[in-house]
């Protein structure tokens, strides 16, 4: 999808932070851009030349007047062509990093702005890949992204996952489509010695959360040969990794029957089904019930959804994280371990750590903070964009 016509030009207001953009910040907010009748007439996803207030070029941006992020930086070279070669170069550069990091092709291949494709997420599952076009420009260029992905990686199965809050903020509809190839069912994914079953068409997000890979591994070391409780488990993340490392048993708790069925299938595929149990229900209610039953575990890990997806939700989200910690702490055996996770970018590490510590204290326990984990290296962070470092995982030892 290329054209020889000159690109439209848009300009920052004097209050726009041109220096931040030159130093790598990837977004322009709506109140930073001159929005006149001509600019308002441009279709969502249009690529334009961005200039500063003095009309000096800053680079090529993708526009969306319906979004608070009105422009996303695509290329700082104003003469660049956003064509097939451009997409292939970005994907090849990302692939080279993942192939250095991982022995098998199961990873996040494109992590949006940090990999130079703003608003685009691509997770790879062997011969299959799931594309999330979370920005209007990516929705418009999906066919080009898919073609470049095939050319660079050789994958033969392509899925479009068009769900999630980010698309709503861009004014995009929700839909999941099989773009190419065929799927017989969930895809088995080897990770940390465990097998996970990823539903690429009907599962949460792209079907699996690769970002927790290093935190699964750390938790599995803490589990030893003990009992493990994995709360908000999805398809068995922490529990299955712990069983692969020799845990005596694991109980996975989730509100989704479909996710727990996939967890059970993963346990069976890895030959650990005899040590694996599931319990469907509201996580808070199940933790309260386990406490009433007098159950304790050598390792408890809670990996809830984003309780604070925005600044407006921050206070309520921090109260929810505190409540998780308060209910989880009494379930940890004396001298055992507690892992608490947050994928809320609005709740920074300090706020999340403080909420977790308050909750542990309110749960009647004292703790040592052993380790702070983040997303794996297939989820690189753009240093100028705090939102790209969203995942936090805190591991505590609860002292007797």
How far is 248 from 315, CA to CA, in rounded Å? 38
231: DSSP letter: E
If we measure between CA atoms, which residue out of 235, 232, 233 comes closest to residue 263?
235
The secondary element (H helix, E strand) that includes residue 221 is: helix 213-223
Three-state secondary structure readout of 325-357: HHHHHHHEEEEEEEEEEECCCCCCHHHHHHHHH
- Residue 343 bears catalytic tag: yes
How far is 140 from 51, CA to CA, in rounded Å? 23
Under 8 Å between Cβ of 57 and 18: no
How far is 304 from 392, CA to CA, in rounded Å? 11
Give me the residues paired with residue 149 across strands. Answer: none
The secondary element (H helix, E strand) that includes residue 19 is: helix 18-22
If we measure between CA atoms, which residue out of 182, 75, 73, 87 comes closest to residue 143?
87
Tokens at 342, concatenated: 């947050």
Helix axes 349-362, 314-328, angle to 10 degrees: 40
If we measure between CA atoms, which residue out of 10, 21, 121 comes closest to residue 64?
10
Q: Given the residues 301, 343, 347, 398, select the one marked as catalytic.
A: 343
Q: Report the catalytic residues.
A: 343
């Amino acid at each position: 999808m290329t054209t020889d016509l000159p690109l439209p030009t848009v300009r920052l207001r004097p209050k726009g932070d041109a220096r931040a953009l030159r130093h790598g910040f990837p977004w322009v907010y709506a109140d930073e851009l001159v929005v006149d009748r001509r600019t308002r007439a441009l279709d969502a996803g249009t690529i334009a030349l961005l200039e500063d207030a003095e009309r000096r070029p800053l680079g090529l941006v993708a526009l969306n007047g319906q979004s608070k992020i009105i422009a996303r930086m695509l290329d700082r070279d104003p003469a660049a062509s956003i064509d097939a070669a451009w997409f292939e170069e970005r994907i090849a550069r990302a692939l080279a990093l993942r192939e250095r990091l991982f022995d098998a092709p199961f990873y996040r291949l494109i992590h949006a702005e940090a990999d130079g494709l703003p608003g685009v997420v691509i997770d790879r599952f062997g011969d299959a890949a799931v594309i999330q076009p979370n920005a209007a420009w990516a929705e418009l260029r999906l066919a080009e992204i898919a073609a470049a992905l095939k050319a660079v990686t050789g994958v033969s199965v392509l899925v479009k996952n068009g769900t999630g809050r980010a698309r709503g903020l861009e004014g995009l509809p929700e839909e999941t489509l099989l773009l190419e190839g065929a799927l017989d069912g969930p895809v088995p994914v080897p990770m940390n010695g465990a097998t996970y079953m990823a539903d690429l068409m009907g599962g949460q997000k792209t079907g699996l959360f690769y970002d927790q890979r290093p935190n699964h591994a750390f938790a599995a070391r803490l589990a030893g040969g003990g009992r493990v409780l994995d709360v908000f488990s999805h398809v068995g993340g922490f529990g299955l990794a712990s069983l692969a490392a020799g845990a005596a048993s694991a109980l996975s708790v989730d509100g989704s029957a479909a996710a727990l069925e996939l967890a059970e299938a993963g346990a069976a595929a890895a030959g650990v089904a005899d040590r694996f149990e599931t319990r469907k229900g509201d996580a808070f209610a199940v933790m309260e019930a386990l406490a009433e039953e007098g159950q304790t575990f050598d390792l408890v890990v809670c990996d809830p959804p984003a309780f604070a997806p925005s600044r407006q939700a921050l206070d309520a989200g921090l109260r929810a994280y505190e409540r998780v910690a308060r209910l989880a702490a009494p379930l940890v055996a004396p001298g055992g371990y507690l892992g608490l996770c947050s994928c809320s970018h609005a709740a920074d590490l300090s706020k999340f750590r403080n909420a977790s510590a308050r909750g542990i204290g309110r749960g009647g326990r004292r703790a040592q903070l052993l380790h702070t984990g983040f997303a794996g290296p297939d989820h690189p962070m753009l240093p100028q964009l705090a939102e790209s470092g969203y995942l936090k995982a805190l591991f505590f030892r609860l002292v007797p």
